[in-house]
Structure 1
Amino acid sequence: MIRQLRGHAIASLIFVGSLLASRVSHAQIGGQQAFSFLNLPNSAKLAGLGGANVSSRDGDATMLYGNPALLNQEMDGTLALGYVDYLADIKQTTAAYVFNTEHAGRFGVGLTYLNYGNFEEFDAAGNSLGSFSVNEYAVGVSDAYTSGNFVLAGTLKLGVSGIAGNHSVAALADMGALFKHPTKDFNVGLTVKNVGYQLKTYTGAEHEPMPLDVQLGASIKPEHMPIRFSLTAHHLQQFDIVYLDPNQRGQLDENNNEVKPKKTIGDKIARHFVVGGEVILSKNFNLRVGYNHLHRRELRLDTRSAGAGMSFGVMLRISQFQLDYTRAYYHASGASNYFTVARNLNSLFKKN
């Protein structure tokens, strides 16, 4: 009875989160929200599949960041540590640990820390006042409940953002659901991410909205094929997420008149989708590739894309360790490197 009540409670949270998502304003997503770092892919697998995935289910504990309903038995006792080398001095570290309890369900604990480096401060006259740091982090606890072919889960998170000694604090929640086919390698996932409220603002400023993101996706591995395909739709709470720079110069027509870029229905739809693929060569060696159309359209240069929106990754198991690496291309100025190492601690303790 207790497990049934917990399952109904999580389902209610998902429903309420969906209602909240449907009522957000129709402003563009960029620069309109606080704690946007929570939408960054913070593991090698997530980045390798295009930056968003709610349905690829295996033993990778870091997938709880994509959808807490992806928690499963293969992750039990697994500790995963991740590191991301972004552009300039921006670095990100993550940790995830999954364990199962007899009565309270399967739990996952996650921590992500983002450091933007040090910046030099100047007064109005241009005199140096020293340096200051900028960093953000979030800690979360996830709980997942499995009933037949369905998994319901939720995550409670605390986010903190700091700039030069000033801090902003937010309380947030993720709600997720997953359907796994009883006989085939086919999953459908849904998650409502970052539903929350800014508890403390910078210097008494107005409260800002959280980076809400409703995602729906599916993964399938056709029988007798070593490939798993994933398709994920994000920001479903807002149809128009296209941003056109008003200062961008348009092309000239035959009459030498400037023609400004215009939004199209096709582009509005395409920017919602992320495509990912996993080439499963063996249980110890996988390859990954991802494509994020929103990243490609927003981060490409006027003259070339330079691979923006593409990501390539590899998974290798050596002894008891799983090593993941992804190189994700966001801009012509360079790519980001994602590293994740994981080990099952249960086997370590049993051996000793």
Structure 2
Amino acid sequence: MATVHHWTGLEARALRHALRMSVRAFAQHLGLAVATVSKWESKLAATEPRPDTQAILDTALGRADASVHLRFETLLSETTGPMTASPRAWEYESWTDDLDRVVVALSRQDFSSADSLLGRWLDRYKAPGLDEKGLYLFARSTALLGDLRRYQGTLVGLLSAQRSYAGARAVFTQLGNARRIAQLDLSLSVVLEMSGKLESAARNYEALAVDDRLSRRDRARARLWVGTALSKDGRHDYATRVMQSAIRDFEELAEPDDWSAAHQKLALAHRGAGDLTTALRFLEIARTSGTPESPMQRVQLTTAQAHILRTDPATRDDGLRLLDDAAQIAARSGLGHQLRSIEAIKRTCEGAFKPPRR
């Protein structure tokens, strides 16, 4: 919730509107003269309440419920308008809180909420004129916008993700934040892989897997994604060895979600190598570990299981039914990349089992 470190008539008026009170009712609510509130209304940012009155306004805002806080923040955003060069202290706090909410929304594939929260700040502020803290928040917002577009996975979305990541990387380079730069290099490599540029993605992943700018967890992810790119490129034996190395790191780091995702990718690598029994065993490990599944996790696990089952003629029909289930989840959740991948697998199935011409 918003905290105002320095009240002016502008913030006071926004609070009155957020409380949906008249000037007289607001003055009574604060225990002040109507003339005082009227002065704030006429002079706005050109007048500042006395220190004791600042404390009264702090109390009024602190006692307000969440809906009032939301209206208050929105009103101030609308009042100051777009392209404001220097956010207020409370705006920095709200921006930071909103980015935390975006991370949660993306983990749940709640793309609408994430887009709305990011748009609130990116539509209002541009990098030129922001101070160092503002630049950091702007770059984080831009990077998360890249994640949003990447998760949605449409063809246009991948290009948008690439632009967002490149823009965020430029700002973090300006700030000299080496860790964030390396993380964005990792994200840009993921976009390369999703775009089908497997060899380039694998080379980037290999370099990042030993990059000291990244945390050990991110280096392990890079190593896992080396294996993913190699497996997609048909180099299954090497891919499995690289993935198993990443799995050991995730186990030592106590990262159950990454550990689970790695087993799912390892299952697909074994499927590509023709070892369906081992593939199903690793997939079962992935299904029974980690936290409760998000829509993306359900799509990925269901697609992996379907991919394995449809490889065996005895279970082909079960695999195709699961592909349909995964496609429905992907469509409902707006997961464009996963949906395209499923459709490509289905087309491969149809081509492989097309009846001969007479």
Q: TM-score, normalised by structure 1?
A: 0.22
Larger helix proportion of the pair: 2
Q: Which structure has the highest strand share of the two?
A: 1
| Greater relative contact order (Cα < 8 A, sep 6+) | 1
